[in-house]
Chains A and B, each alone.
Chain A
Amino acid sequence: MKGSRGKPLVIGAAVVLALALAPAGLSPFLVQFLINLFMLAALAESWNIIGGFTGYASFGNVAFFGIGAYTTGVLLTAAEWPFALALPAGGLLAMAFAGLIGMPILRLKGHYFAIATLGVAETMREIVYNLKITGGGTGLTMPITRSALPFFYLMLGILIAATLVNWWISASRFGYGLIAIREDEDAAAAMGINAALYKTAAFALSGLFAGLTGGVFAYWITFIDPEGVFRVIVTIQMIIMAVFGGMGTVVGPLLGALVLATVSEVLSTQLVSLAELFNGFIVILVVLFMPKGLAEVIRKREFSLRKLARNLREYRV
């Protein structure tokens, strides 16, 4: 048991060390690509807390990303706070918002929860669009920074923190509580788990990391507008990366982000619509052939078509 818990840590530490040293030897283009990859992976890990472990499929996590981006943005520009304060403020506000909105909507289940979260994201976009302090539809422009390196390390740091939290969840009392809620909420409650508290805490944690990521994104990209940071496609990306890699696992979202971000990046150089089209096809194929994700397929060595099609035999009509 000890060996199997120690190995991922060693591999993880080696990867982190390699990544930390990476910018020295990479072209600016690759550094930008890695920042984007870290961001997507961190978002996928943040979604995984509520969607993967707790089993509440949030279709509105982009709301927390957007709140983080706008809070940081407004504090930086209008209030002229230093970034070191504006970023945590963005993360904490997103976390508080997730906790507050979570209290009523986490009482909904299944489809109702999914659409309610979609509604939260749409509503947030509308509110930001109509507020004065956020610059409305014209957006916000941040002060420009010269080097991309701070963003590289910040995104990497958030990604590591998000991954560690997922790892902690996968092997802690709190995490087992979440998994119990996912498997059978009534039974979990009967066992004495305070389901409402656990779910809200998971949602808030998810919001914290999405918010922090949004804050770094705002300063990195230097310009944000409501259409840009509240795009439904950002939520879709979080979900498909987590699902593609494997929901409710620690490495799944990382794996999903790595594969999908790389392919999307290649396709985006041709045409943005093409990359989104690819995302759509991936969603369909994943649901058809590997709903448990890539991590599970690799773990069980199920590479033959016959094994992959087992899912279809089970659920078709």
Chain B
Amino acid sequence: MLFLQVLINGLLLGGLYGLMALGMSLIWGVMNIVNIAHGALIMLGAYATFWMFTLWGWDPFVSLPATIALLFVYGYCLQRFLLNLVVRAQLFLTLLITFGVEVVMVNLVRIFWSSDLRQVTPGYAGANFSVGGVTVPYVRLWVFMTTVVLSILFLLLLEKTRLGRAIRATSEELRAARLTGIPVAHIYAVTFGLGAALAGAAGGMWGMLFPITPIMGGGLTLKSFVVAVLGGLGTMMGAIVGGLVLGLAESFTSTYIGPTYPNAISFGLLVLILIVKPTGLVGRRG
């Protein structure tokens, strides 16, 4: 029974990891930017939800569209007016500039909103139900279902719409995309906006499960990266599969080995995957 409980816990958390990694993988796949500020975007999403909950009493699930919209606009502007300026420079420099963005965001939040631990606690926060000896908190289940819905919507957007085709075309071949009349700078900004929106959604829900602090993003950037690589870079299904794998790995190791080494586990998994199968679990060749 414990086994089943651990399995469920891992899957429910893994969905959220998948959503985080989806945004990271998109930005990486399309623009070749490893966005170190990804965790900071998650943090911003968590704070957005927190403030709407605290100031206006908005339910965190209801305010989720607002959080997503806010982060989309923020991400769009960040790419359009800053990252687009150096997006074709060497990898190290684009990585470094997102590092700078991360430091600026974290410290602005720290200065304006302090380093206090915050939490989003709607009335139903502690409620749960049991099926066959397995306890499932309602919040975790709803978070999981929301991540599934958001992931499907996002995949449909990418596969079925004109915008999605433009994003994929830009990702394949920048110059050819520009020649066919795709406004590349705009598409890049939209892509980053989408990645930020996914991060924001993940952050909004993360805040219902774990405490919110200005520095919560550092570890989450690492996890998003691990998941994106684990699943296979640039493949959207890979991010989701990778998220579930990491969730399960953490859940099982913390129960059967001990909860003291969460980051060591993600990192160990990462190195293992990079050495054994560099294209990821469901990655494509080349």
Residues of A within 8 A of B (CB): 57, 104-105, 107-108, 110-112, 114-116, 118-120, 122-123, 126-127, 129-130, 232-233, 236, 239, 243, 271, 273-274, 276-277, 279-284, 286-288, 291, 311-312, 314-317
Contact = CB atoms under 8 A, between A and B. Distances in A.
Contacts of B260: 126, 129-130
Given A243-B96, A281-B104, A315 B264 contact: no
B89 A284 contact: no
Given A239-B96, A287-B96, A312-B86, 15 more contacts: A107-B275, A111-B34, A114-B95, A115-B222, A115-B225, A115-B270, A116-B267, A116-B274, A123-B267, A276-B107, A277-B107, A277-B111, A281-B100, A315-B87, A317-B174
Q: 6 tightest A-B contacts by CB?
A: A283-B100, A280-B103, A119-B267, A280-B104, A284-B100, A277-B107
B89 A291 contact: yes
B185 interface: yes
A130 to B, nearest CB: 5
A117 to B, nearest CB: 10
Nearest to B219: A122
A126 B261 contact: yes
A315 B111 contact: no
5 contacts: A115-B222, A277-B103, A291-B93, A315-B88, A317-B184
Interface in B1-55: 28, 34
B229 interface: yes
Main secondary structure of the interface of A (DSSP, over half): helix
B163 interface: no
B185 A317 contact: yes
A284 B87 contact: no
B266 interface: yes
Chain B binding surface, main DSSP class: helix
B107 A280 contact: yes
Interface in B204-240: 218-219, 222, 225-226, 229
Nearest to B104: A280
Which of A122, A281, A312 is the most central at the interface, judged by chain B CB atoms within 10 Å of its CB? Answer: A122
A250 to B, nearest CB: 20
Contacts of A114: 34, 92, 95
A277 B101 CA distance: 10
A69 B153 CA distance: 50
A274 B87 contact: no
Interface in B84-134: 84-89, 91-97, 99-104, 106-108, 110-111
Contacts of A130: 260-261
A2 B218 CA distance: 49
A287 B267 contact: no
B201 to A, nearest CB: 23
Contacts of B219: 122
Nearest to A280: B103
A116 B271 contact: yes
B85 A111 contact: no
B62 interface: no
A115 B227 CA distance: 12
Contact of A288 (B97, B226, B262, B271): B97
A181 to B, nearest CB: 15
A127 B264 contact: yes
A288 B222 contact: no
A116 B268 CA distance: 10
A183 to B, nearest CB: 12
Contacts of B264: 122-123, 126-127
B263 interface: yes
B145 interface: no
Nearest to B82: A284
Contact of A280 (B95, B101, B229, B271): B101
B188 interface: yes
Nearest to A232: B218
Contacts of A279: 103
Contacts of B28: 111
Contacts of A284: 82, 97, 100-101, 104
Contacts of B174: 317
Contact of A112 (B86, B89, B229): B229
B34 A283 contact: no
Contacts of A274: 107, 111
Given A120-B267, A122-B267, A283 B103 contact: yes
Contacts of A314: 88-89
A202 B67 CA distance: 46
Nearest to B258: A130
B110 A273 contact: yes
